Amino acid sequence: MAQPPRMDPFAQNLRDRDAGAAFVLQSKGEWWHAGFHLTTAIVGPTILTLPYAFRGLGWVLGFFCLTVMAIVTFYSYYLMSKVLEHCEKDGRRHIRFRELAADVLGSGWMFYFVILIQTAINTGIGIGAILLAGQCLEILYSNLSPNGPLKLYHFIAMVTLVMIILSQFPTFHSLRHLNFGSLLLSLGYTFLVVGACIHAGTSKNAPPRDYSLESKMTTRVFSAFTSISIFASIFGNGILPEIQATLAPPATGKMVKGLQMCYAVIFVTFYSAAVSGYWVFGNKANSNILNSLLPDEGPSLAPTWVIGLAVIFVLLQLFAIGLQCFHSLETLMLW
Mention every residue, 6+ apart, whose C-beta is less than 8 A from residue 136. 311, 312, 314, 315, 318
Neighbours of 110 (CB within 10 A): 15
* Identity of residue 6: R
CA distance 227 to 53: 4
Predicted pLDDT of residue 6: 46
Is residue 235 assigned to a domain?
Answer: yes
Predicted pLDDT of residue 179: 86
Is residue 1 assigned to a domain?
Answer: no
Neighbours of 158 (CB within 10 A): 14
Is residue 239 assigned to a domain?
Answer: yes
34-23-44-231 Cα dihedral, nearest 10 degrees? -80
CA distance 313 to 196: 15
Provide the residue range defining the domain that includes 94: 27-333
Crossing angle of helices 254-281 and 31-42, rounded to 10°: 30
- Lowest model confidence (mean pLDDT) among 8-22, 90-104, 216-230: 8-22
Cα–Cα nearest to 193, from 124, 78, 279, 133: 279
210-264 pLDDT per residue, tens? 888 888 888 889 989 999 988 988 888 777 888 888 887 777 788 899 999 999 9
pLDDT (average), residues 37-59: 89
First to last CA, the chain: 36
Where residue 1 falls among pLDDT bands split at 50, 70, 90? very low
- Lowest model confidence (mean pLDDT) among 161-165, 244-248, 323-327: 323-327
CA distance 110 to 24: 22
Please tell me what DSSP assigns to residue 49. Answer: G
Cα–Cα nearest to 246, from 19, 87, 21: 21
E-assigned strands of the chain?
A: none
Query: Does residue 312 surpass a pLDDT of 90?
Result: no
pLDDT (average), residues 59-83: 92
CA distance 206 to 204: 6
* Identity of residue 89: K
CA distance 317 to 43: 10
Residue 51 preceded by cis peptide, ω within 30: no
CA distance 144 to 138: 10
* Identity of residue 329: L
Is residue 106 assigned to a domain?
Answer: yes
pLDDT (average), residues 103-115: 72
Predicted pLDDT of residue 331: 59
Considering Cα of 261, then 251, then 42, then 234, what sign does the dihedral take?
negative
pLDDT (average), residues 129-157: 80
CA distance 268 to 92: 36
> What's the structural domain count of the chain?
1
Is residue 285 assigned to a domain?
Answer: yes
* Identity of residue 57: L
258-260-265-267 Cα dihedral, nearest 10 degrees? 160
Please state, rounded to an integer, the average pLDDT across all residues of the chain.
Answer: 80
Predicted pLDDT of residue 264: 95
CA distance 221 to 216: 9
Query: Does residue 105 surpass a pLDDT of 70?
Result: yes
Where residue 19 falls among pLDDT bands split at 50, 70, 90? low
Is residue 206 assigned to a domain?
Answer: yes
Please tell me what DSSP assigns to residue 261. Answer: H
187-210 pLDDT per residue, tens? 999 999 999 999 988 888 888 888
CA distance 116 to 255: 26
Is residue 260 assigned to a domain?
Answer: yes
Predicted pLDDT of residue 72: 94
Cα–Cα nearest to 240, from 174, 297, 172: 172
Where residue 283 falls among pLDDT bands split at 50, 70, 90? confident
Most confident of 5-9, 220-224, 285-289: 220-224
Is residue 21 assigned to a domain?
Answer: no
Cα–Cα nearest to 282, from 66, 47, 55: 55
CA distance 275 to 86: 39
